[in-house]
Amino acid sequence: MKAPKAVNPVGIIERDEAIENYNRARSSLKQLCASHGPERFRKLVFKHPFLGNIDGIATVSFVGYHEQRHYKQIREVLKKLGSDQ
């Protein structure tokens, strides 16, 4: 599926900045989950552009699976570029 325009990058960022942004977002999500707990997340509803309304637990799970997909995509690109990373 193609990402919605709102989440497409508008420019190129440096590798270190991208990693820093990822780590900051991951840390914030972990803090949010730790401070609110599963009961509160079950009551939250998020509107996903393709999946429709999903609760907070499903949203956090989706983020994890989505990141795994991006990781696989990055590995595929590196392989095509001949990198051993």
Residue 7's pLDDT is what? 77
Q: Which residue has the tokens 């799970």?
A: 61
Residue 85's pLDDT is what? 54
| 9 lies in some domain | no
Averaged confidence pLDDT in the chain: 88
Contacts of 57 by beta carbon, 8 Å cutoff, 6+ apart:
38, 41, 42
Residue 23's pLDDT is what? 94
| 54 lies in some domain | yes
Question: Which pLDDT band holds residue 27 (cuts at 50, 70, 90)?
Answer: very high
Which pTM was predicted? Answer: 0.66
Q: Confirm if 60 and 41 have CB atoms less than 8 A apart.
A: yes
Host domain of residue 57: 17-80
| 69 lies in some domain | yes
pLDDT tens by residue, 29-52: 899 889 988 899 899 899 888 889
Q: How many domains does the chain have?
A: 1
| 75 lies in some domain | yes
Question: Which pLDDT band holds residue 84 (cuts at 50, 70, 90)?
Answer: low
pLDDT of 83 > 70? The answer is no
